Structures are given as structure tokens and as C-alpha cells.
Amino acid sequence: MSFSRDRVTGIILSVFSLLYLFFSKDIKVFRGSGATPLTSAFIPRFWGTCLLTLGLILIFRGSFSSAGEEKTAGSPLFKRLKGWIAGNYEVVLTFALIGVYSALLPSVGFTIMSALYIFAQILILTPQERRNRLPAFAVGIFFAVVIDFIFVKLIGVLLPKGILGF
Amino acid sequence: MGSPLWTGFSSVALDPFILLLIFAGVAVGIIFGSIPGLTATMAVVMFLPMTYTMTPIQGISTLVALYIGGISGGLISAILLNIPGTPSSVATCFDGSPMAKKGEAGKALGAGIVFSFLGTLLGVGVLVVISPLLARIAIQFGAYEYCALSIFSLSMVIALSGRDLTKGLISAVLGAIWATVGLAPIDSKARYTFGFIEMTAGFKLLVFLIGIFAITEVIKFAEEVRSDIRYDIREDVKVKGFGFSLREFRGQLVNMVRSALIGIGIGILPGIGGGVSCMLSYSAAKNSSRHPEKFGTGILDGVVASETANNASIGGAMIPLLSLGIPGDAVTAMLLGGLMVHNVSPGPLIFVKSGATVYGIFVAMVIAAFAMLVIEFLGLRLFTKILRIPKNYLLPIIVVLCCVGAIGDSNRVFDVWGILLFGLIGYGLLKAKIPLTPMILGFILGPMFELNLRKMSQLFVMDPMSFAERPIAIGFFLVTIVVVVLNIRANRRAID
């Protein structure tokens, strides 16, 4: 089966909008005095329906119109996805790295996590033949400490301290 | 205690610390604007947390200075690298780069800087005149008018969508959908919180914008790591005086005024901003020129049109932001977040509640324009060196600063997950070729639309004739219909 960009996007958006509409049933509606005729569930259902319609238009367009839309015939979706990941592992690693950073920030603390994040992200964003760990490490530590000093000590922003207290 | 005008003026112009902040903000903004891939929006995102402990006028002056520097800085890389530093400088490349190749880099840069300065001043001039008037009119607005205004602003999505209206609408609807998370307006019923207490406050505008712009920018760079693009930077820059003669300046006056008006007009329209204004004014200059065939070969007219318009759009974009609370482009959306952080509520009452701060913003913008003129002329050689800063080292630091901004805004680490979520969404939309700007409009206007639609429904049920007594609202609805029809026809013509 071949997938056009529009068809895949349309399918994802339609599924998302169906889920969005489904969960709108959990919205509690206020019926007391002063209640508005349009309830708090009205607008989510309105936007959900709009998105579903637009998603279906995209699927329809992707299926029946080839104008301006590239199709990769005979290439299964998962195979394309696998190929894309192999060709863009820096993108996947960057998202994963930000995820790890978010997850460990409260327990490990801002300074350590930021130093590690900057170090790892610099390496990911540098072409393999030019990767140099020492300057990346130095930049990571330097900026994590400086940012922590400016925001925590000077500006008073509350940043996670973690188990080691900094 | 003096008048708000004097208080605003004295609090900015007579405070050495604020003057220092403005100069520093402009310099940093220029650096961000000049490095391709870094934008004025990112500069504002990155430095917003640093303003948390400042007074509102200190903080907002800094952000405005970053904005003005960021928009103007794009001309440096547009002329020297033939790569627009920001989307606002796209049209500057068309003639700026050929001029540099002909050995006229100094002239192109000089003209770009001077007309950026003049464009900013003209935009601020119109802002100072129009925004109090608009606010005075808007003070009479009720639910009907705000509902109609938000529908009108959302209709601009059609203009923003280019040739693919469906994708533009998807983007706007998605923005409105993200804004429904949290407590509903009026009755405060929880929606889509899935039991997470952190979700009841919904997604913050700041978190949304950081994810969409900053994270997406890092990811776009990550995609290009293996291609290892290197730029050929022209460093043979010599500027004598302003780089051009008085006669050449006089010859550009009509072009400047026309471009400034286009820039201001485009800036006022929600969601469009500098990128479109520079293209439109370039086209207008070309179409009205006696020698249109010379455009693109390296003539002053092209640089003047583009740079005047993009800087004039700054003042234009600030008009709806301050008077109505509706941002004109992505950077002003960010500034909206900044104003909220500093407890300044944009809207019709801003001149009543925060008059001194608003006048202070006007003064800060004028000073920032002068700072831009001085810094760009004095620092030209330095900025050409800065273009060489490796982005692989810069972007991770920006991400960390963005996270600090998000955490500091509401003191919760949970928002870093929000940044990641919107980064993923932004990247996914880019891959699907769905424009991101309409999503910002949807995110900001969605709650405004909902609140006023629900209020309107209540008024309408009580008195169905009440709508007929609201001529401004009816006017907005009619204008919306005209805008939608004209834009759809224009889109169809473009596709045919």
C-alpha cells in the first residue's frame, strides 16, 4: 500500500480528533443559575468536529488527487519510517534527550542535568568527523553553572535542586 | 506623580539602567537576527526569564529592544550571506546580496540600517497615534464585538495559509484545541486534564511558543547535521558615512513611505508580520518602478523597500497587541506572554490601568531604534565575525534557557514536558507541510472566541434583538465575510 503525505496526516488528525471528541464526554456541564446556553463542552466538540472534517478532507485529497503530492509507491509505511529514522537519528536522539532531561530534572537537579544535556546535545548536533568531547564538556559545565548562578542566585528563579542539592 | 506620558517617558529615558538594558537588548537582538536560524522570537523567548525580577517597564523595554534588534539584524546575513537571518529579511536578499557581490556591501548595509531605523520610527509614530484611539473605541466592545473580532482575526488564517487553505485551517483549529485544555471559561469546568493537577492551568502561551519555535528550530538543525552546511561570508565591508549619498536618499523617499505604510498595514493584521510585509513592499516597489527589470540585479530600491517595511511592521504589530490584546505576529505573541508575566494586561483598558508602562514602551521603542542605528554601524565588523558562531554549541544553551523560562514562569518542571510535546507537534506539522503561524492565532484567539461566544449566547437568549443594536459587531462580521470570500478567490486564482 502506498501512502501520500496528506493521507498519513489526515489519518493521524482524524484519529486524534475522534479521541478528542470521545473524551469530551468527560467534561462536566454546569446547569445551575447563570449557566450559558452553550456549555463548556460545546466549543471542544465544535473544534473536534472541525478537525475531523479537515482530516477527512486531507485523506480524501491524498487518496484521489495526486496534484502536487508526492507518492512513494510500493513502500510500506513502517519501512519508510525505519528508513527515515536511520537517516535522521540526530532528530530522534534530540527528542529523546529532551525527554530524558525533563524526566530526570526534578531528581538529579538543574545544574547536573543541564551540563549533561548541553554536552550530549552538542555532540549530537556536531558532524561525526568534527566531534570533540572536551570542548563540549567544558561548554556544558560552564554554561550550566553560569545559568544556575544567574537565575537562582541573582534572579531568584526556583529551579529543581535534585538529590545533591544543586 | 505626573501624567502617564511623563511618567512613562521619565521612567525609561532618564533611567540609565533601562537605557543600558535597551542597548544590550538591541545588540543581542541583532546577533540573533543576523545568525540564520535564530530569530527575534527566539531572542525574546530566551531572555524573557531574565526579566522576571525586573520591574514591568525594565522587562518590557528589554523585550521590545530584542524585538527591534532581532528584526533589523536579519539584513546583515541577507546581504553578506545571501541567507535571510529572519523571515522578515527574505526580500533583502534579492538586491542586497547582488549589491554585495558587486562590491557595494557597505552601501547595501548602510541603506538597510538607515531605512530600518526610519521604518521603525514611522511604525512607532503610527502606533503612538492609533493605539490610544483604537483602545478608546475598543473600550465600548462587549461580548458581541469581541466574538466578531476574534472571528475576523481567525479569518486571517485564510490569508496566512497560502495555497493550501485546508492545512492552514488545520493548524488554526489545532491551536484552538490545545487552548481548550484546562479550566473552561465562565464555569471553570476541567477539560482534558486526565486527572493531572498540573493540567488544570492548561498550557501556557510561553510553553506553547517555546516548543513550537525553539525546539522545532533545534530539530531542524539536527536534520541538517550530516549535510554540514558552511557559509561563504563576505567580510570586505567598508562603509563611508551612511554608505549612500543624499541624492540617493531623496530618491528613495517615496519608496520608503509606501513601504512603511505597507509594513504598518500588514503588521496590524493579526498573524501576518514582517515576512509578508517585506515581500509585498518589494513587489510594490518593483511594480511602481520605472526600471522594474533592474530589481534583483542589486539596486538600492529593493533593499530600502524590504528593510523599511519589515521594521515598520513592528509598530503595526504592536497596535492590536496593546489595544486589543491580539498579537500581530509570532514575536508579539511572545511579547504578549512577556506583558502577562509582568502583570500588564493588553487590551482596551491598558491605557487606563498601565498608561505609564505603555508610554514607556513607546519611548523604549524609539530609543531602541536609535540604539539599533548606532550599534549596527559601529559593530558591523563584529557582527560579520559573530555569523561564524557554531550553532551546534549555541542551540543546546538556548534550549536550557528556554526550559528555565518555562519553569520560572509558573515554578513547575511539568512545563518542560509541555515544551517537548509542542516541539514534537511543531516538527510533525512541519513534516506534514502544515504552517505553524495559524496555530498561534488559534491558540490565542480560541479562548477569546469561546468566552465571548458563550457570553453572547447568554445575551442572545435573553434578548434576540440585542445583536441588531451592535453595529460594530455587525461590521466585523460583514468585513470577515468579505475577507474570506476575497482570499478564497485569490487563493483559487493563484492555484489556477
A57, A108: one domain = no
CB B356 within 8 A of CB B8: yes
Q: Per DSSP, which regions of A73-159 are E strands? A: none
Q: Which of A75, A100, A121 is the last residue of a domain?
A: A75
Which pLDDT score, from 0 to 100, does residue A1 have? 43
Q: B191 vs A23, B320, B390, CA distance in Å? A: 9, 29, 43
- State the virtual CA torsion across B102, B105, B106, B111 in degrees, nearest 10: 100
Q: Which of A50, A75, A100 is the last residue of a domain?
A: A75
pLDDT band of residue B8 (cuts 50, 70, 90) is confident
Q: How far is B397 from chain A (nearest CA, A)?
A: 6
Please report whether residue A133 resides in a domain.
Answer: yes
A63, A18: one domain = yes
Backbone region of residue B203 per phi and psi (left: phi > 0; alpha: psi in -120 to 50; beta: other values): beta
Q: Which of A24, A52, A75 is the last residue of a domain?
A: A75
Please report whether residue A162 resides in a domain.
Answer: no
Q: B84 vs A42, A161, B88, B177, B215, CA distance in Å? A: 44, 40, 8, 33, 20
Going by the DSSP 8-state scheme, the letter that residue B290 receives in this structure is S
Q: How far is A101 from chain B (nearest CA, A)?
A: 9
Query: For chain B, what percent of residues have pLDDT higher than 90?
Result: 25
Which pLDDT score, from 0 to 100, does residue B267 have? 84
What type of residue is B262?
A: I
Please report whether residue A136 resides in a domain.
Answer: yes
pLDDT band of residue A155 (cuts 50, 70, 90) is confident
CB contact under 8 A, A125 and B396: yes
A103, A147: one domain = yes
A63, A96: one domain = no
For residue B14, pLDDT over 50 is answered with yes
Q: Per DSSP, which regions of B181-315 are E strands? A: 182-183, 190-191
pLDDT tens per residue, range B253-295: 999 999 999 989 888 876 566 667 888 888 888 888 888 888 8
A106, A62: one domain = no
Q: B65 vs B157, B207, B411, B490, CA distance in Å? A: 28, 22, 26, 36
Most confident of A25-39, A130-144, B438-452: A130-144
Identify the closest residue of chain B to A142 by CA–CA distance: B397
For residue B437, pLDDT over 80 is answered with no
Going by the DSSP 8-state scheme, the letter that residue B213 receives in this structure is I
Q: Which of B138, B135, B133 is nearest to B473 (CA)?
A: B138
How many angstroms separate the CA atoms of B177 and B171, rounded? 10
Give mean pLDDT, residues B244-259.
91
How many angstroms separate the CA atoms of B78 and B94, rounded? 9
Question: Cα–Cα–Cα angle for B327, B330, B333, nearest 5°?
Answer: 40
CB contact under 8 A, A118 and B397: yes
pLDDT tens per residue, range B320-349: 888 888 887 778 888 888 888 888 888 888
A55, A95: one domain = no
A94, A137: one domain = yes
How many angstroms separate the CA atoms of B411 and B233, rounded? 42
pLDDT band of residue A141 (cuts 50, 70, 90) is very high
Q: How far is B146 from chain A (nearest CA, A)?
A: 16
CB B296 within 8 A of CB B302: yes
- CA-based torsion, A17, A19, A20, A25: positive or negative: positive
Question: How many CB pairs below 8 A link A and B?
Answer: 183
Give mean pLDDT, residues B159-173.
81
CB contact under 8 A, A157 and B192: no
Give mean pLDDT, residues A127-140.
90
A60, A96: one domain = no
Give mean pLDDT, residues B36-44.
77
Query: For chain A, what percent of residues have pLDDT higher than 70?
Result: 90
Of B191, B433, B457, the CB nearest to A44: B191
Please report whether residue A101 resides in a domain.
Answer: yes
A145, A119: one domain = yes
pLDDT tens per residue, range B96-127: 888 888 888 888 888 999 999 999 999 999 99
Question: Which residues in B lie closer than 8 A to residue A9 (C-beta atoms)?
Answer: 432, 434
A69, A93: one domain = no
CB contact under 8 A, A125 and B391: yes
For residue B211, pLDDT over 60 is answered with yes
Which SS3 state, helix, strand or coil, does residue B289 take? coil
Which cell is B140 given? Answer: 465600548
CB contact under 8 A, B173 and A20: no
Give mean pLDDT, residues A123-144.
92
pLDDT band of residue B364 (cuts 50, 70, 90) is very high
Please report whether residue A165 resides in a domain.
Answer: no
Which pLDDT score, from 0 to 100, does residue B91 have? 85
Q: Domains in chain A: how many in total? A: 2
Give mean pLDDT, residues A11-29.
94
Give the phi and the psi of residue B446 in degrees, each rounded to 5: -55, -55
Question: Cα–Cα–Cα angle for B129, B131, B136, nearest 5°?
Answer: 105
Q: Is B234 or B469 the better-scoring residue by pLDDT?
A: B469
Of B180, B420, B450, the CB nearest to A98: B420
Question: Which residues in A lie closer than 8 A to residue B494 (C-beta atoms)?
Answer: none
Which pLDDT score, from 0 to 100, does residue B51 have? 85
How many angstroms separate the CA atoms of B122 and B314, rounded? 10
Give mean pLDDT, residues B196-215.
85
**Domain residues for A128?**
89-155
CB contact under 8 A, B228 and A47: no
Q: How far is B125 from chain A (nearest CA, A)?
A: 34
Give mean pLDDT, residues A141-149.
92
A94, A69: one domain = no
Which pLDDT score, from 0 to 100, does residue A99 have? 94
Of A36, A41, A143, the CB nearest to B458: A36
For residue B169, pLDDT over 70 is answered with yes
pLDDT tens per residue, range B373-406: 999 888 877 776 776 778 888 889 888 988 887 8
Which cell is B68 given? Answer: 527591534
pLDDT band of residue B230 (cuts 50, 70, 90) is low
CB contact under 8 A, A151 and B455: no
Which pLDDT score, from 0 to 100, does residue B273 have? 60
Question: Which residues in B lie closer than 8 A to residue A130 (C-beta atoms)?
Answer: 228
Q: Which of B285, B278, B332 is nearest to B310 (CA)?
A: B278
Please report whether residue A83 resides in a domain.
Answer: no
Which pLDDT score, from 0 to 100, does residue B259 have? 93
pLDDT band of residue A2 (cuts 50, 70, 90) is very low
Residues with Cβ < 8 Å from B12, sequence gap 6 or more?
A: B18, B19, B22, B57, B61, B360, B363, B364, B367
Of B219, B431, B453, the CB nearest to A94: B219
How many angstroms separate the CA atoms of B418 and B423, rounded? 8
Summarize chain B as % helix, strand, coil (round to 5).
Answer: 75, 0, 25
Going by the DSSP 8-state scheme, the letter that residue B184 receives in this structure is P
Q: Which of B244, B245, B256 is nearest to B122 (CA)?
A: B256
Q: B398 vs A117, B413, B417, CA distance in Å? A: 12, 17, 16
Of B166, B397, B428, the CB nearest to A143: B397
pLDDT tens per residue, range A47-58: 999 999 999 999
For residue B422, pLDDT over 60 is answered with yes
Question: Which residues in B lie closer than 8 A to residue A4 (C-beta atoms)?
Answer: none
Which pLDDT score, from 0 to 100, does residue A21 have? 96
pLDDT band of residue B54 (cuts 50, 70, 90) is confident
A70, A103: one domain = no
How many angstroms separate the CA atoms of B226 and B228, rounded? 5
Give mean pLDDT, residues B61-79.
89
Q: Which of B29, B24, B136, B64 is nearest to B357 (CA)?
A: B64
CB B44 within 8 A of CB B334: yes
Please report whether residue A84 resides in a domain.
Answer: no
pTM of the complete model: 0.80
Question: Which residues in B lie closer than 8 A to residue A117 (C-beta atoms)?
Answer: 396, 399-400
Of B166, B222, B428, the CB nearest to A90: B222
Please report whether residue A13 resides in a domain.
Answer: yes
Which pLDDT score, from 0 to 100, does residue A66 have? 56
For residue B159, pLDDT over 70 is answered with no
How many angstroms separate the CA atoms of A48 and A14, rounded? 9
Identify the closest residue of chain A to B187 by CA–CA distance: A30
